[in-house]
Structure 1
């Protein structure tokens, strides 16, 4: 029968412990989550600074009513873009409704001129986010992958390339491993090979650097920077920051930007409020780092094999998807909410528990987590 493959594919995923399902969350903050009327300690939130717990004044228009290139580009959008440019040192910015859309749009849109695409190449870290991979695959440029954070491999790839337009793409903090990109080395390579550098700083913005301005601030500022508002900023949306010429070019070529209703002005106002809170959240960043240190110290004492990460993302690789799901359920029985991350989100045989630490966690929460992990694993 037609479309029999759908039922067959879902069953295959179920049999391989890879089936994805949604969980209806009744209430949540950076420390706790309520599911089916039961409260758990939440170690699966990207609200790293706990700013999502701050009250927002829900006022203003809910919809922008149109694309940004028709009548949807409002004063609040320009105000948010200007604030971001002033903080991060860029000429211009474009706002998107999601980080996925922003990332994929840059790569699809930048390399769509038939006069130049044959002379263009994108060099991506193999652990880059799906949005970056999808954007490159949908572009007309040659797509070249280099081993994760391996600068010698990237150098070799760049040396072999005869492309005129070379774009190196990396994440600032990698979303599944929690480690950081060697920004200085990436910047040096881009200069040596007359390339451009693009950084997706979704999981670094708010957490890394002075005032939380991210992994790519200062002298090593990339040519294209993408930040998202849904992580440490605890809002929604994203921004692409770049030189004015690049933004002008994207305005001509980005189908997502041209044909999507502009970011809700209500969310733009929320983002502005949260941006101010993020800049002034030094106390939360200090609490976050203390919690990360406590978690890593306790794990070391219990011989729990956490990946090398000094960020809020602390993965514990368990190998098989079945093992990861079993550990997740065992922790749930101890009132701990964690997510089992499985292929294809991570490579085969690297299914893991993705622990995320926040500034809102208390020492007793982390101690309970580590003791429970020790028992379960």
Structure 2
């Protein structure tokens, strides 16, 4: 106990009354997408994870993680600019750069850390090179890590309506006379809505207004684009791409990929790279294996997208709101916090694990269940999910 605990307890009570309190649930992974929730030993089919291709249990990832650990130990021992850079870091970075069709890449401990520390370094460049603050144009529904990176830099965001390139263009025109480097910051697949950005349109606008395009490809990499390279690798592309290994690639960590010059600049200026202990050999081994496997999984990607299309159609037919989803991320937008929590509990009673996503993760009055399909969900599991969601639609109608 501390003398501040009463304040914490009151704040937690306030969250509970608003239906916004979160708790951790300990899960024990089983075969495929099945998990056991440890608090009640209940077996659930997990439709909430980001393991889109099922690689988290792939034998090659586990084998290479073990081999690289045996070779050099469990830790990198230091940050990258001290003595923590191993030949394995270089190998994986070169492979990432080839995968994303960029000149160079850098590894980071997590996607959050990459976004939160790369953006301030980029924006600082504007002040140093032009003497003026960066002009930062951001999609309103960007991930919290992107908003945090802007806040950490002290950058005022000029926010455009979600995926509205007409609005973005109007804002760029409005600020055209302002000095300072221009940055457009967005995701390619939005993690809570499952819809996609128009990469070709964004690239054209960035070129028109001489803006730097920064693209978060965390949820696109592995499942979209040629060989799963994401939405930007085979287009005109972004100036800098961020992505993660913790979703379709099945392990952990993140990367940025771009020109050699921008990567060299970040080595010298990005706090998240400079001051973090380097990623351990085990994760590097899993990353390396994932980069070998993902380009070969076209069949799994095709089937996964077919499953998602089928499920969206079934849900829309019974009146469930799936938003603008066009990917394996399928939101079921309910609105009220308490009603969304009831819906998640209803599905759990039907042995389906989904998570109630509530503000501030999503905008107010847009609480939802977030369904995430994976390549390891079989037809029987999908039928069970669909049947349960049809029952949920009826349940929600009775709650009105």
TM superposition score normalised by structure 2: 0.91
For 2:85, what is the secondary structure of its paired residue? coil
CA deviations on 1:264-305 (whole Å, 9 max, x unpaired) are 121011100011111111121122122112212322333322
Change (3 A) 1:29 1:141: farther
The residue that corresponds to 1:327 in the other structure is: 343
Determine the structure 2 residue equivalent to 1:372: 388
Which residue is 1:8 aligned to?
Answer: 10
Paired residues of 1:202 and 1:228 also in contact (CA < 8 A): yes
What CA distance in whole angstroms lies between the structure 2 residues aligned with 1:163 and 1:362?
A: 54
Q: 1:84 aligns to what?
A: 96
Q: Deviations over 1:311-350 (max 9, x none)?
A: 1100011001101100000110110001000001000000
> What is aligned with 1:336?
352
Structure 2 unmatched runs, 5+: 394-400
1:45 paired residue among 28, 44, 49 = 49
Partners of 2:15 and 2:131 in 1: CA distance: 38
- CA positional deviation for 1:4: 4.1
Which residue of structure 2 lines up, in the alignment, with residue 143 of structure 1?
157
Partner of 2:134: 120
Residues 69 and 165 (structure 1), Cα distance of their counterparts in 2 relative to 1, 3 Å cut:
same
Per-residue Cα deviation, 1:95-119 (whole angstroms, up to 9, x for no partner)? 0010001111111111225434624
Helix, strand or coil for the counterpart of 1:69? helix
- Which residue is equivalent to 1:202? 218
Answering whether residue 298 of structure 2 is matched by residue 282 of structure 1, we say yes
Name the counterpart of 1:70: 82
Q: Does the 8 A contact of 1:118 with 1:141 survive in 2?
A: no
Identify if the C-alpha distance between structure 1 residues 323 and 30 changes in structure 2 by more than 3 Å, giving closer, same or farther. Answer: farther
* 2:27–2:35 Cα contact (<8 Å) kept: yes
| Partner of residue 310 from structure 2, selected from 286, 294, 299 | 294
Q: How does 1:169-208 map to 2 (within 5 A)?
A: 169-208=185-224
Which one has a larger percent helix, Structure 1 or Structure 2? Answer: 2
TM-score, length of structure 1 as denominator length: 0.96
Distance in 1 between the 2:146 and 2:131 partners?
Answer: 18
Cα contact 2:124–2:134 (8 A) shared by 1: no
Structure 1's 242 and 4: CA in aligned 2 closer, same or farther, altered over 3 A?
same
Structure 2 equivalent of residue 95 of structure 1: 107
Query: Residues 29, 230 of structure 1: CA spacing in aligned structure 2 closer, same or farther, 3 A cutoff?
Result: farther
Task: Tell me what 1:104 maps to.
Answer: 116
CA contact (8 A) 2:51 2:247 kept: yes
Structure 1 match to 2:20: 18
Taking the aligned partners of 2:299 and 2:254, their CA distance within structure 1 comes to 25
Q: Distance in 2 between matches of 1:79 and 1:155?
A: 40
Check whether the contact 2:53–2:375 (CA below 8 A) recurs between aligned residues: yes
* 1:269 is aligned to 2:271: no
Give the one of 166, 173, 182 matched to 1:166: 182
The aligned runs of 1:26-45 (5 Å cut-off) are 26-28=28-30, 31-36=33-38, 37-45=41-49
Q: Alignment length, in residue pairs?
A: 377
- Structure 1 counterpart of 2:365, from 346, 349, 353: 349
Deviates more, 1:177-186 or 1:361-370: 361-370
Kept after mapping to 1: 8 A contact 2:105/2:258: yes
Q: 33-42 or 224-233: which moved more?
A: 33-42
Unaligned runs of 5+ in 1: none
1:235 alignment partner, SS class: coil
Whether the 8 Å contact between 2:225 and 2:234 is mirrored in structure 1 is no
CA gap of 1:2–1:333, structure 2 versus 1, over 3 A, is: closer
CA RMSD of aligned residues (A): 1.5
Preserved CA contact (<8 Å) 1:18 1:342: yes
The answer to which of 303-312 and 327-336 deviates more is: 303-312
Per-residue deviation, 1:30 = 5.1
The 1:349–1:29 alpha-carbon spacing in structure 2 relative to 1, beyond 3 Å, is farther
Match of 1:216 in 2: 232
Task: Using the TM superposition, name which of 292-301 and 187-196 deviates more.
Answer: 292-301
Determine if the alignment matches structure 1 residue 236 to structure 2 residue 248: no
Helix, strand or coil: the match of 1:111? helix
Seen in structure 2, the aligned counterparts of structure 1 residues 2 and 171 have a Cα distance that, compared at 3 Å, is same
**Partners in 2 of 1:207 and 1:230 — Cα distance?**
13
Residues 123 and 133, structure 2, Cα contact 8 Å, conserved in 1: no
